[in-house]
A and B are shown apart, each in its own frame.
Chain A
Amino acid sequence: MAFTPSSPLTVDGVPVADVVAPESAEHAAALLREAADRGHGVVPTGRGTQLALGNPPRRADLAVSTANLGGILDYEPTDLVLSVGAGARLGDVQAVLGEHGQWLPIDPPGGDDATIGGLIATALTGPRRLASGSLRDLLIGITVAHATGTVSKAGGMVVKNVSGFDMPRLYHGSLGTLGVVVSANFKVLPRSRAERTVVSRHPDLHGALAAAERMRESRVPATGLEVATDGTGARAAVRIEARDSTLPPLVTETERLCGGDQETLATEASRAWWAAEAEPFRLSGAGDDVIVRCTARPRDAAEMVRSVLSALGPLEVEVRRLAASPAVGEATLRLALAGGSSAALAAVQAALLGVARHVTILAAPAAAKADIDVWGPLPEGHAVMASLKAQFDPDNVLNPGRFAGRL
C-alpha cells in the first residue's frame, strides 16, 4: 500500500513543497534524476526523527521519503545476516531479530523510532558504542539510489567481503548527500539474555569520572560506561552483560570499584534505565533546546568533561543534562539557549571548540543555526570530500549545504 507522509514538512524552517515516497529503488533514482534536471534540492527522509541534524538546506523542493521502502527483505538467523529496507523502523527490526535471540547492538537516543536509512545517514551512536562500535561495523552491503538516476549496490550478504572498494562505509554517516540508501545488509549478533546495571551516585563529576576510570582499567567488560549530571551531583552507570552464571562476580567487582551510593538494576529495569537515560538526547524531542556532542581522545575525555562545564559558565546557557562516555571520548549536552539567537549558539560552539577536539551541534532551533556550520571547522581532507560530492551528486541535489563544510 502506498503511503505518503503528512505534509507540510519543514527542515530547519525551510518548508518542503512536496513529499514523495517512491516504491522502488529505480523509482527513487528516477525522482532524483528528475530533481537534478530541474535544479531542485532533495531532502531524503525516513520517519523524520533525526532531521534536526545538519545545516539548514540551501534549498528543499522535495522530500524523498523511504516510507514505502521498509520491511525485512531477507533474514537468515543461522547465518547471522539481515537485509532490510531503508524505511524500516529500527524498533520493528529489533523485534523480529529478538525472536531469534539476536539484534543489532546499537542504541542511539531515540534510535528505535528512527529508520535504518536514517541511522546509516546520521551515524549517531549511544553508550553501547564502547563495546559494539556503530552500524559502520555491522554494515555488509548496501543499495543506493543516486542523483544521476542510477541505482548501485555494493557488498553482499556475507560477513567477510573484499570484492572491490568498501562503498558501504563511504555512505555511512554521509547524511544522504551521496545518494539515498534504499536497503542495507547487516551482520547481526546474539543478544545477551541477562544484564545488570550498577548506578552509583557521587557528590560531583570528579567522583563519577574516577569511578568510570577504575571500571575501564578493571577486568569487567562493560557494555555501557556512562557518567552523567543534571547539575546536582553526578552519577556513573556501568552495564554488564553476560551469562547468568558469570554475572554475580562481575557485579560484585563493579560495586566494589564504583563507590558512592549504589543501586543495582536487573535485566528489565536495566534496559528501562538506559532508555530513560537517552530520552533527553532524542533529537526529535529537543524543542527549543540545543543538543551538542563534544569529542576528544579517550585519554583527554575526563578533562574535557570537566572543562565543558567551566567553558560554558560565562555564557547565557543552562546545562540541563550532560552525559559522557569517557572511554569512547564522547560527551553530549542538552542546553537551554537564552534567546536562541545565532550569536548565542556561535558563542557556545566557540567555547566548546576550546575544550573539545570536535563539536557537532546535533539539534538547535533553526534561527540559531543561521550563521554557523553545525559540524564545526572544515574537516581535514575537505578537498577530497568535495570531489566525492562532485562525483556522486554533480548537480548538488541531495541535502544541499547540510553536510560538513556545507557540502
Chain B
Amino acid sequence: MDRTRLVEQLERICGAGGVFHEPSDLLVYEYDGSVEGAVDIQMPVAVALPTSTEQVAAIVRLAHAAGVPVTARGAGTGLSGGAVAQAGGIVVAMTRMTRVIEIDRTDRTALVEPGVVNLELSETTGPLGYFFAPDPSSQRACTIGGNVAENSGGPHCLKYGVTTNHILGLEVVLPDGSVVWTGERVAGAPGYDLTGAMVGSEGMLGIVTKALVRLTPNPEATLVQLAAFRDIESASQATSRIIAAGILPAALEMMDNLTIQAVEPAYHAGYPMDAGAVLLIETDGLTEEVDAIGDEITEICRQHAASEVRSATEQAERDLLWKGRKMALAAMGRLSPNYYLHDTVVPRSKLPATLARVEQISADHRLPIANVFHAGDGNLHPLMLFDRRKPGDVERVLEASKEIITYCVEVGGALSGEHGIGTEKRDYMTLVYTGEDLAAMAGLKNAFDPASRFNPGKVFPKGYMCGEVRALRAQAMAQKYGIHPI
C-alpha cells in the first residue's frame, strides 16, 4: 500500500484532523525524550490520533493488512527511545484518549483512557481521598499508557511499588486488531497473568486502550526530612541503617554536591551548599506512626554524622524541600548545555562502591557526573554533563555510559530500573541475559505478535529477530549441549 493510500485510509478511520502526514507535522514525532546520539531518530510515515478503542483497532487492522509497523506513543517523555518508530510505519498517538471514565471509591479503582496524564489522575482523585501511586519525574506530562508500557517508577515506589503493582486490568488491541480485556477488576481471574505480561512490555505486545488502575488512600500525615552529610559514603550508610531498622520510608532520595551546586542557587530549597550529599526522606502514614519514625530517622542520621536534619510537615515547607529534587534536571542547564541521564540499579549495599566507581569514570573521561537518585531502592541516575557542540563529547559520554552499565551489572545490578530498554540499551541486553533468557522473552513476544508488527526494533539486541525464536532456542541448546536439531 503506498503512502497516499495509507494516509487516505487512516483519515477514513480518524478523520482528516486525526492524521498527520506532512513532514513538518511529523518532525516532532521522530524522537522522544531520549538523548540524540544514544537513541536514533526516525520519522514515521504517518501519525494517527485515535479517539476510541474502535479507531485504534481499525488502524491496527489496516496496518496488519498493509504489512506496516505500528508504534504506540503517549506524551513522548520516555528516555530509552521506546516511542520512536524505529522501522517507520504508523505512530498511534494516544493523546486524544484522555477520559477518566470511572472512579470507584468502594473498589478504590479508576478506569481511564491511556492518554490521561499521570499527575492529572492524582489531581482528579485527590479531593476524593486517593492518589495514583507511580510518580515518575515526568508525571506532569507523561501518560498512564506510557507508564504501563515502561512499568514506570518514581521516588515513591520505594514504599508503594512500581506501575505493575497498581494495574488491575487492561483493555488491549492486539496486533491482529482484536480487542481483549486482560485481568479484571475482580481478583481470581483464571488463566495466565496477561496484565503482568503487558506492563513493561514497551508497546511490543499490544496497545492499551483502557486501564483499570488501583487508587491508594491519601496518607493521614506526611513528613519530609532533609539530612546533610559530609560525603556520599556516610549518606549511603545512613540509608542502609534506616532500611535495616525496619523503616520503609515513602521515598528516600540522594543528591550529591554537584547537584546541590546546580539546584540551590536556582531554587533556594535550603540545601547546604557545602554538604557532600543530602538525603531527602519522606515518611507517611498515621500521624502517631509518622512522628515516631521521624524521630528514629533523625537519630540514625545524627549517628552517621549528619551536620543538619530538618523536618517539614507543612505542605509549603515540604514542597520547597522537594522542589530542589524535582527540578534537579532542569537546574543542570546552569552547569552545562547538555546532559545524559542514566538509569541503572544496584543492590543497595553496593551504592557506596558504585558511586566511587562513577566518580572514577568521571575523572577518567574528564566528564562531570552529578548524582541525583532513588537511594532507597539502589536506583542510580548518574547525570553526565557535556556539550554536544564540542567534538568528541558525545563519544566520551557513550563510552562512560558503557563503563557505568558494565560495572553495575558486575555488582549484581540491572540495566534499567525505570526507564526501560527501548533502543538505548538493547545492545546491552546480552550483558545480563543469555540466548536462552532472550528466547523466553521472544516466546512471550511471539505469542502476542508473531509478525513482529508492534514497535519493532526495541528491547531485543540488534539482529535478534523475534520471528526466529526456534532458531534462537536451537542455538541456545547447541551452545549448551552440543545438540544440533534440524
The 5 closest A-B pairs by CB, nearest first: A169-B196, A190-B246, A295-B188, A379-B191, A404-B190
Known: A80-B243, A360-B188, A404-B191. A299 touches B106 (CB 8 A): yes
B325 near A: Cβ within 8 Å?
A: no
A329 lies within 8 A of B187 (CB): yes
A132 to B107, CA, bound (A): 16
Q: Are A163 and B286 in contact (CB under 8 A)?
A: no
The segment from A106-114, A241-249, A272-280 found at the interface with B is A241-249
State whether B419 touches A385 (Cβ < 8 A).
no
A contact set with B: CB distance below 8 Å: 26, 30, 76-81, 101-102, 129, 133, 136-137, 144, 146, 148-154, 156-167, 169-170, 172-174, 178, 189-191, 219, 221, 242-243, 245-246, 249-250, 293, 295-299, 328-330, 357-358, 360, 375-376, 379-385, 387-388, 390-392, 403-405, 407
**Cross-chain contact B417 with A158 (CB below 8 angstroms):** yes
In the complex, 7 of the A-B residue pairs with CB atoms within 8 angstroms, ordered by the A residue number, are A133-B165, A137-B165, A160-B379, A219-B220, A297-B107, A357-B184, A379-B189
Query: Within 8 Å of chain A (Cβ to Cβ): is B448?
Result: yes
Q: Are A163 and B182 also in contact (CB < 8 A) when A79-B349, A246-B289 are?
A: no
Chain B residues close to A by CB (< 8 Å):
104, 106-108, 150-151, 153, 157, 161-162, 164-165, 174, 178, 180-182, 184-194, 196-197, 199-201, 204, 220, 240, 243-244, 246-248, 285-286, 288-289, 292, 345-349, 374, 377-379, 412-421, 425, 429, 432-434, 436-441, 443-448, 450, 459, 469, 473, 476-477, 480-481, 483
Instruction: Judge whether B473 and A384 touch: CB under 8 Å.
Output: no
* Given known A-B contacts A156-B432, A161-B345, A384 and B174 have beta carbons under 8 A apart: yes
Complex Cα distance, B192 from A387, in Å, reads: 11
Q: Distance (Å) between the CB of A331 and the closest chain B CB?
A: 10
| Residues of chain A lying within 8 A (CB to CB) of residue B446 | 387, 391
B238 to chain A, nearest CB (A): 12
Closest to A328 in B: B187
**Residue of A152, A243, A293 contacting most chain B CB atoms (<10 Å):** A152
Once the chains bind, are A165 and B445 in contact (CB under 8 Å)?
A: yes
Beta-carbon contact of A358 and B432 below 8 Å? no
Partner of B443, one of A136, A159, A391: A391
Cα distance A137–B420 when bound, in Å? 19
Q: What residue of chain B has the Cβ atom nearest to residue A179's Cβ?
A: B440
From known contacts A151-B436, A357-B184, A385-B191, infer whether A162 and B378 are also in contact, taking CB-CB under 8 Å: no
B304 CB to nearest chain A CB (Å): 14
Q: How far is the CB of B146 from chain A (nearest CB, A)?
A: 13
- Cβ contact within 8 Å between B348 and A163: no
Contacts of A156 in B (CB 8 A): 412-414, 432
Residues of B within 8 Å of A405, CB to CB, are 190-191
CB distance from A78 to the nearest CB of B (A): 5
Does A150 lie within 8 Å of B165, measured CB to CB?
no
CB neighbours (8 Å) of B246 from chain A are: 101-102, 190-191
Q: Are B190 and A379 in contact (CB under 8 A)?
A: yes
Whether A152 and B348, one on each chain, are in contact in the complex, defined by CB atoms closer than 8 angstroms, is: no
- B192 near A242: Cβ-Cβ < 8 Å: no
- CB–CB B346/A158 < 8 A: yes
Which residues of A are found within 8 Å of B459, using beta-carbon distances?
Answer: 164-165
Give the docked Cα–Cα distance between A170 and B443 (Å). 11
A50 CB to nearest chain B CB (Å): 16
The contact of B200 among A26, A165, A295, by CB within 8 Å, is A165
Q: Is the CB of A360 within 8 A of B190?
A: yes
Q: How far is the CB of A216 from chain B (nearest CB, A)?
A: 9
- Whether the Cβ atoms of B288 and A246 lie closer than 8 Å is yes
Known: A101-B246, A166-B151, A166-B201. A381 touches B441 (CB 8 A): no
Q: Let me know if A167 and B441 touch, CB within 8 A.
A: yes
A150 and B413 form a contact (CB under 8 A): no
Alpha-carbon distance A388/B448, docked complex (angstroms)? 8
Chain A's nearest CB lies how many Å from the CB of B246? 3
Least CB distance, A24 to chain B, in whole angstroms: 12
When distances are taken between beta carbons in the complex, the residues of chain A under 8 Å from B346 are 158
Expressed in whole angstroms, the Cα–Cα distance for A379 and B188 within the complex equals 11
Given A153-B434, A165-B444, A391-B444; 7 other pairs, CB 8 A cutoff? A79-B349, A150-B476, A160-B157, A160-B378, A245-B288, A297-B186, A299-B107
Report chain A residues within 8 Å CB of B165: 133, 137
Residues from chain A with a CB closer than 8 A to the CB of B450 are 387
Please, which residues of chain B bring their CB within 8 A of the CB of A150? 436, 439-440, 473, 476-477, 480
Please, which residue of chain A has its CB at the minimum distance from the CB of B108?
A298
Query: Distance in Å from the Cβ of B348 to the closest Cβ of chain A?
Result: 5
Chain B, residue nearest A190 (CB): B246
Question: Contact check: which of B153, B440, B480 meets A167 at CB < 8 Å?
Answer: B440
Is A146 a contact partner of B289 (Cβ separation < 8 A)? no
A154 to chain B, nearest CB (A): 6
Contacts of A191 in B (CB 8 A): 246
Q: Which of A77, A78, A152, A165 has a CB less than 8 Å from the CB of B201? A: A165
> Roughly how many angstroms separate A77 CA and B244 CA in the complex, as a whole number?
7
Query: What residues of chain A lie closer than 8 Å to B447, measured between beta carbons?
Result: 384, 387-388, 390-391
